[in-house]
Amino acid sequence: MRALRFHEPLRVALVTVPDPVPAAGEAVLRVHATGLCNSDVRVYLGEKKAMPGVIPGHEVTGAVVALGEGAAATIGETVSLCPILCCGHCSFCREGFRNRCPSRRTLGYDLDGGIAEYVRVPAPLVAMGQLLPMDPSLPAERRALLEPFACVLNSLEALHVRPGAPFAIVGGGPMGLMHLVAGRLYGAGPILVVEPEPSRRTIAAQLGADAVAHPDDAKRSGDELTRGEGFPAVAVAVGFAEAVPAALGLARRLGSVNLFAGFPPGSVHTLDLNQVHYDEIRMLGTQNAPFALYQRAAQMLPRLDSLDRIVTNRYRLEDAADAYAARLEKQGLKSAVFMADSA
Ligand SMILES: [Zn+2]
Ligand SMILES: [Zn+2]
């Protein structure tokens, strides 16, 4: 099969490798589409670690085409996957936080992922129900959003986003816009999206933001929307340390600020400790999502037509390396790679 290989930072290439054959308990998917995540771009830039030689791609949707002995999956079924391989017995796994398992490995980083014609799904992942059935009539780009949408739901849950409660999103890239779509679905409002790029502010407004603002106007706009009180929930969906003080400035007393995006290694930020203390601000972080939120995301995706606008850049497998270049140049919103006969 053809696959993209990550050799080392700034070097990915299309290669031909043997088709995966499933061992006992394993499944093989014929990949329909795989989304390119900002974390894939961070691996490409050398900011985040992945195994040299790995096939990238963790936002995968496809059809089950082969099963190893005893694998609990159905040939022909369309699925999207939760790409986390965990131990299943540590305290995090037992509490449902497979994403926080100390021995976690992830498809696309530590094991071959989905920027390929086929992907082999490890036995524990099949056995733990992490192939989530999807309606095959849903566009492949939407099915490929299962993982990032589950991550967004985790952010909203951590922030206790509630119906009728103001919600601020710092960053109007694909993940910020998915926070907006999810926030609307939760009934939160008014929702403010803070984003420097005018074209992204326009899309945020079209996707239902009550207000959009350039970072320089964020505080004023936020005060207007919340009568000066600030936001009970603020999501930071951009990996710049400078976004953190701005996010803290938007938070209401007793509000929560979630660091959703990853930051370049060594990013530090000086906190006004008294702001945290006297305003009783909750600073949080979320990364990936507990499995239950993948299940919830799978149920919600069929109703979220607006998410189709998030995938703006479509690539064929042979052009997958270009998908990285487009992200570096910040062309469009999100990239996805579509395999030959499913584009
Ligand atoms: Zn992702
Ligand atoms: Zn574990």
Is the torsion defined by CA of 175, 156, 140, 206 positive or negative?
Answer: negative
Q: Is 298 inside a domain boundary?
A: no
| b/e burial code for range 35-47 (CB count within 10 A of at least 16 → b) | bbbbbbbbbbeeb
Q: What is the pLDDT of residues 142-156, one digit of tens each?
A: 999 999 999 999 999
In this prediction, residue 146 carries a pLDDT of 98
- CATH number of the domain where residue 135 is located: 3.90.180.10
Q: What is the pLDDT of residues 9-62, one digit of tens each?
A: 999 999 999 999 999 999 999 999 999 988 899 999 988 899 999 999 999 999
Q: Is 292 inside a domain boundary?
A: no
Q: What is the pLDDT of residues 174-185, one digit of tens each?
A: 999 999 999 999
Both 112 and 133 in one domain: the answer is yes
| b/e burial code for range 240-265 (CB count within 10 A of at least 16 → b) | beebbebbbbbbbeebbbbbbbebee
Both 122 and 154 in one domain: the answer is no
In this prediction, residue 319 carries a pLDDT of 93
Both 16 and 71 in one domain: the answer is yes
Both 57 and 22 in one domain: the answer is yes
Distance (Å) from CA 291 to ligand 2 centroid: 12
Residue closest to 172 by CA, chosen among 210, 212, 140, 136:
212
Distance (Å) from CA 149 to ligand 1 centroid: 9
Query: Which ligand is closest in space to the CA of residue 262?
Result: 1
In this prediction, residue 324 carries a pLDDT of 86
Q: Is 233 inside a domain boundary?
A: yes
Count of domains forming the chain: 2
Give mean pLDDT, residues 118-147.
Answer: 97
Quickly tell me which residue has 């933001």 as its tokens: 209
Predicted confidence band of residue 343 (pLDDT cuts 50, 70, 90):
very low
Q: How many C-beta atoms surround the C-beta of residue 103 within 10 A? A: 12
Given a cut of 60, whether residue 126 has pLDDT beyond it is: yes
Q: How many C-beta atoms surround the C-beta of residue 303 within 10 A? A: 9
Give the DSSP H/E element, type plus range, for residue 16. Answer: strand 11-16
Q: Which domain holds residue 57?
A: 2-145+310-342
Both 130 and 51 in one domain: the answer is yes
Q: What is the pLDDT of residues 312-339, one digit of tens each?
A: 999 999 999 988 887 788 788 999 999 9
Query: Which ligand is closest in space to the CA of residue 104?
Result: 2
Q: Per the omega criterion (within 30 degrees of 0), is the bond before 190 cis?
A: yes
One DSSP character per residue, 99-149 reads: GG-TT-EEBTTTB--SSBSEEEEPHHHHHTT-EEE--TTS-HHHHTTHHHH
Length of the chain: 343
Q: Is 40 inside a domain boundary?
A: yes
Q: Is 164 inside a domain boundary?
A: yes
Distance (Å) from CA 39 to ligand 1 centroid: 7
Q: Is 291 inside a domain boundary?
A: no
Distance (Å) from CA 96 to ligand 2 centroid: 9
Both 121 and 175 in one domain: the answer is no
Which residue, 269, 285, 301, sits at the end of a domain?
285
- CATH number of the domain where residue 277 is located: 3.40.50.720
Quote the mean pLDDT of the chain.
95
Distance (Å) from CA 242 to ligand 1 centroid: 23
Distance (Å) from CA 134 to ligand 1 centroid: 18
Q: Are 195 and 217 in contact (CB under 8 A)?
A: no
Both 275 and 328 in one domain: the answer is no
Query: Which ligand is closest in space to the CA of residue 113?
Result: 1
Angle of CA points 105, 267, 103, to nearest 5°: 15
Residue closest to 191 by CA, chosen among 171, 211, 219:
211
Both 115 and 210 in one domain: the answer is no
Residue 54: phi and psi, rounded to 5, are: -75, 150
Both 62 and 90 in one domain: the answer is yes
Query: Which ligand is closest in space to the CA of residue 91?
Result: 2
In this prediction, residue 187 carries a pLDDT of 97
Both 91 and 214 in one domain: the answer is no
Q: Is 89 inside a domain boundary?
A: yes
Predicted confidence band of residue 341 (pLDDT cuts 50, 70, 90):
low
Given a cut of 70, whether residue 342 has pLDDT beyond it is: no
Distance (Å) from CA 198 to ligand 1 centroid: 25
Both 162 and 277 in one domain: the answer is yes
Distance (Å) from CA 320 to ligand 1 centroid: 16
| Nearest-angstrom CA–CA distance, 4 and 108 | 11
Both 24 and 114 in one domain: the answer is yes
Q: Is 16 inside a domain boundary?
A: yes
Query: 3-state DSSP call for residue 296?
Result: helix
Distance (Å) from CA 58 to ligand 2 centroid: 19
Query: Which ligand is closest in space to the CA of residue 100?
Result: 2
Given a cut of 90, whether residue 234 has pLDDT beyond it is: yes
Give mean pLDDT, residues 233-242.
Answer: 95
Give mean pLDDT, residues 208-235.
Answer: 97
In this prediction, residue 326 carries a pLDDT of 78
Query: Which ligand is closest in space to the CA of residue 85?
Result: 2
